[in-house]
Amino acid sequence: MLRQFGVVLLVSLLSSVPNVYAAETTAADLPDFQHSRADELAEYQLGRQFLRQLRGTTPLLEDPLLINYLENISYRLSFNNTLISPDLQVILIPDRRINAFAVPGGVIGVNEGLLLYADNEAELAAVLAHELGHISQHHYERSQESGAHNTLIYLGAILASIALSSVNSDAGLALGMSTQAALAQQQLAYSRQQEREADRVGMQTLVASGFNPEAMANFFSKMDKQARQVGLMPEFLLTHPITQERIADSTLRARHYPDKGVYDSLDYQLIRVRLLAIMNQADSQQIPAFRQQLKDNPNNQAVRLSLALALMNKDQFSQARSETSTLLAKFPNKIDYLIASADIDIADSKPDQALKTLEQGLLVSPDSVALRLYAARAATLNQQAARSLTWLEPLTHQRPEDPIVWHAMMEAYQQQKDALGVLRTRAEYVFLLGQGEKALKDLEQAAELAKSNYPLAAKIDQRRSEMQAAIALEKK
Ligand SMILES: [Zn+2]
């Protein structure tokens, strides 16, 4: 079975949501903001705080390959937006409704529903570019006074709308949102003027990133049609109202670009296959259909990967393996196939075999975060915690805010019965999940264990002060 990576959500209830109030002004009325360095720093800190609260209240889909893909496309777009985001944090929300959001301080969230509904990569990019447009134009600043207070209101409304509507998202679809969620949505709705501006800026970003600008109008009118014909309003439209005028404008604007850029990529199709396999683990009925499609077109890699993962989900490991072998015979270095093959071996309780495949892959792609995380996981499962740590330790420097890394490291230390290691990594993990007090307690215990090792004790103390400072800021 294709499982989510081993991150367990520690559920806690949404304690408090900052009061939100309605937007009174539109961007057109506002003067140019003098966005200072201090504002940016405050926004960065607020963005991280928002992320910890979100992780503490909403289950996220933690899959190294999916996250890696979303990070790549987000960096590509923000590189071509005026936003300067040296370290983006990208999250995938297991919610089938079509939505995405971006918040100041470099946090981007994508609902799995958006990935399923966007038929090609350019459509996904169009939505993300539009969201980045709102951020770079500071549309979240709802009053004339710029700065942290406004950002806080905006973040509170997003958190409320995600947390409240995810409490029971299936019922939410059928019965409508809770009043509180609806209210939060209302706070987040952009004005017509802001929508126009985000469309304009978003299309520039889209084109500069090499995507086909027609994707924007295509996706908007697809969502609009769904809302009209099926009567199901995509979540995205609640906060970004689509008008015929917007669709027409986007269509016209796209015509002005002579170079059309690309619509799609194989990587995007493979990522969707993977997401579907995670979402529909129980659904094995498609296997005959996949086989038929392959008979007609044996070179369709996305269908072959679908078949491999569906077979694995049905515990038909040797058949699944034969499909990934076919793929790897032709594309021996393709990370998606290496990892699918490792998934199968791990599901079949053969972590040693998975480790071999992953190590082969790392010879060619030593920088792949997904391969390294998978190799670490396979090593731990193979009772080789020390080996696992050789991959994880460098990742803690490269990705200090990635809960997957800390969780994997904690498991390796547990295997080694290294209490100090467990405490230090668990502190980082729970801190990222919004449990600051628990993290501080772990570090306190760690400092006690390390007290005869002065350099380490000093390091732990330092980290504890940093966390304390972040927690104090949250309470303000
Ligand atoms: Zn919008």
Distance 198 CA to ligand 1 centre (A): 6
> Is 90 domain-assigned?
yes
Distance 141 CA to ligand 1 centre (A): 14
- The pLDDT of residue 166 is 59
> Is 367 domain-assigned?
no
Distance 194 CA to ligand 1 centre (A): 7
- Quick one: pLDDT band at residue 227, thresholds 50, 70, 90? confident
Last residue of a domain, one of 227, 255, 283: 255
> Is 462 domain-assigned?
yes
Q: Give Cβ neighbours of residue 336 (< 8 Å, ≥ 6 apart).
A: 65, 267, 270, 271, 274, 305
Last residue of a domain, one of 255, 272, 304: 255
Distance 298 CA to ligand 1 centre (A): 41
- Residue 387 corresponds to which amino acid? R
Distance 192 CA to ligand 1 centre (A): 9
> Is 343 domain-assigned?
no
Counted residue by residue, the chain has a size of: 476
Distance 135 CA to ligand 1 centre (A): 10
- Quick one: pLDDT band at residue 285, thresholds 50, 70, 90? confident
Distance 300 CA to ligand 1 centre (A): 36
- Name the least confident of 144-148, 213-217, 363-367, 463-467: 144-148
Q: Give yes or no for residue 58 having a pLDDT over 80.
A: yes
> Is 12 domain-assigned?
no
Cβ proximity of 307 and 313 under 8 Å: no
Ion ligand 1 residue ranges (Cβ < 5 Å): 190, 195, 198, 240
> Is 207 domain-assigned?
yes
- Nearest alpha-carbon partner for 120 in 222, 240, 248, 237: 222
Distance 397 CA to ligand 1 centre (A): 35
Last residue of a domain, one of 195, 226, 255: 255
The pLDDT tens digits for 140-163 are 876 555 566 777 888 888 888 787
Chain-wide mean pLDDT for the chain? 87
What pTM was computed for the model? 0.88
- 9-30 average pLDDT score: 37
Which residues pair with residue 92 across a beta bridge? 110
- 297-315 average pLDDT score: 97
Q: State the residue range of the domain holding 457.
A: 384-476
- Nearest alpha-carbon partner for 177 in 219, 115, 235, 104: 235
Distance 102 CA to ligand 1 centre (A): 11
**Which one of 19-23, 67-71, 148-152, 226-230 scores highest in mean pLDDT?**
67-71
> Is 127 domain-assigned?
yes
Count of domains in the chain? 2
Q: Give yes or no for residue 263 having a pLDDT over 90.
A: yes
Distance 12 CA to ligand 1 centre (A): 31
- Nearest alpha-carbon partner for 238 in 144, 99, 142, 81: 99
C-alpha triplet 368, 373, 378: angle, nearest 5°: 125
Distance 357 CA to ligand 1 centre (A): 44
Q: Two tokens at 112?
A: 């799995």
Relative orientation angle of helices 287-296 and 301-313, to the nearest 10 degrees: 160
**Direct distance between the N- and C-terminal alpha carbons of the chain, in angstroms, rounded to an integer:** 44
Distance 450 CA to ligand 1 centre (A): 51
> Is 4 domain-assigned?
no
Cβ proximity of 426 and 442 under 8 Å: yes
Distance 138 CA to ligand 1 centre (A): 12
Distance 199 CA to ligand 1 centre (A): 7
Distance 220 CA to ligand 1 centre (A): 11
The pLDDT tens digits for 394-443 are 999 999 999 999 999 999 999 999 999 999 999 999 999 999 999 999 99
- The pLDDT of residue 18 is 35
- The pLDDT of residue 17 is 34
Instruction: Identify the residue whose tokens are 């007290």.
Output: 451
Distance 92 CA to ligand 1 centre (A): 19
